Amino acid sequence: MSDTFKAILVSRDENKKQSVDTVDLREDDLMEGDVTVRVEATTVNYKDGLAITGKAPVIRKWPLIPGIDFAGTVTASQNPDWKPGDKVILNGWGVGETHHGAYAGRARVKGDWLVALPEEMSALDAMAIGTAGYTAMLCVIALERHAITPDRGPVVVTGAAGGVGSVAIAILSRLGYHVIASTGRASEADYLTGLGAAEVIDRAELSEPARALGKERWAGGIDAVGSHTLANVLSMTSYGGAVAACGLAGGMDLPTSVAPFILRGVSLLGIDSVMAPRQIREEAWQRLARDLDTQKLRALSQVKRFDDIVSTATDIVEGKVRGRVVIDMAG
């Protein structure tokens, strides 16, 4: 008989009313997979907030353990790539959506979904980065592949005080970019300049319906907000620039015109972290180990405990969380 471990379980009744409970489970209760991992650290992403509060249909199999990413140690493996004792990270692949996720003492997943924890990184640091930070890195890599180098001009980051935004600012500034941080929280200006933002602007400047073309203000952008914000970012991107779009914190729509694309040759780069192939994941995590200042990472993250997950989920969808929240499963 295996030991029990604590887990958060989200269930639905026959009227589709959602409930969230903390339960004791055994490894036998987990779903299929060829690798079992002791979860040592996880995090609360915006998507986890949507899943736990039920504000968006993130969970598509019931009942389910939410939590889209974790770091931990392999305890059992039938996969040739992994053996007990290996330190691993998981982001996405439907974990916490259709497959039991991170908010449990153990997780059983497909070995192909895992990447190795970079040697110089702790499980807690990996989850301070989490899916939000790894997505920020995917955005940076996409801009680089589009030749948006620091000499091309400033890069704007929207949703700046959030998880994706905070890590994006820290990476971009370390790489030498002039970063313009767009935030609705003026009180976080010192925090954002501390991360490396050269300028902080009010997100209200980008929240009204966009003109077809605006003044050229930046060579590139990382957008976590969507809707009018992304439309404005596009219309203010200079000739030949590019914007990496990864989020929808302000809305799923994109009320824009083709003007930035056909008159300025601006490119819109779509970023998905969930199904990203393993090769780009490994590249992103190696780059994070190299290009993200650990001191800044610690400054943008706060460590909480398993029992704080549900309240943090509510806070994040209400826009009350600054930077990143790490859950220390041993805490």
Binding footprint of ligand NDP on the chain (CB under 6 A): 45-47, 131-132, 135, 159-165, 183-185, 203, 224-225, 229, 246-250, 271-274, 316, 319, 321
179-183 vs 199-202, strand pairing mode = parallel
Which of these, 106, 70, 74, 108, lies nearest to 89 by C-alpha position?
70
Which residue number has the CB closest to ligand NDP? Answer: 162
Q: What's the min distance (Å) between Cβ of 191 and ligand NDP? A: 10
Distance CA 156, CA 220 (A): 6
**Which CB, 36 or 183, lies closer to ligand NDP?**
183
Q: What's the min distance (Å) between Cβ of 269 and ligand NDP? A: 11
**Cβ 242 vs Cβ 260: under 8 Å:** no
Q: What's the min distance (Å) between Cβ of 138 and ligand NDP? A: 8
Secondary structure element (H or E) that encloses residue 143, with its range: helix 123-145
Q: What's the min distance (Å) between Cβ of 275 and ligand NDP? A: 9
Q: What are the distances in angstroms from CA 224 to CA 167, 241, 245? A: 12, 17, 6
Calculate the dihedral angle through the C-alpha atoms of 270, 271, 274, 276, rounding to the nearest 10 degrees.
Answer: 90
Q: Which amino acid is at 49?
A: G
Tokens representing residue 161 in the block: 């005080």
**Which CB, 96 or 260, lies closer to ligand NDP?**
96
**Which CB, 208 or 307, lies closer to ligand NDP?**
208
**Which CB, 23 or 201, lies closer to ligand NDP?**
201
**Which CB, 184 or 240, lies closer to ligand NDP?**
184
Q: What's the min distance (Å) between Cβ of 280 and ligand NDP? A: 12
